[in-house]
Amino acid sequence: MKKKHLFDKPENLKRFLKVFYISLVLLVVVDLFIPKHPYFTWEEYPSFYATYGFVACVLLVLVAKYILRPLVRRREKYYE
């Protein structure tokens, strides 16, 4: 008998995503009202750290895929 998991039902997944997106929007709204003490001027922009983290993550994936992967990849028949 196969064990049932929480996200096996589509309605549970939809419910989770809805709560997740609502919490993201609430965090962005709350961020607008929190006083900041920035060192640099660009840190004053709303959601600067979220945008910075997202761009850094995307760049990391692209560098790993298009620059590092060709350097460390072996040819297809290497283990034969």
Q: Across the chain, which distance is largest between two alpha carbons, in Å?
A: 62
Question: Could you say which residues of the chain have pLDDT below 50?
Answer: none
Q: How many domains does the chain have?
A: 2
Residues 57 and 28 in one domain: no
pLDDT at 15: 95
Residue 57 forms part of a structural domain? yes
- Which domain range does residue 28 map to? 1-34
pLDDT at 76: 85
pLDDT at 31: 83
Q: With the CA atoms of 61, 62, 63 and 64 taken in that order, what torsion angle do they form, in degrees rounded to the nearest 10?
A: 50
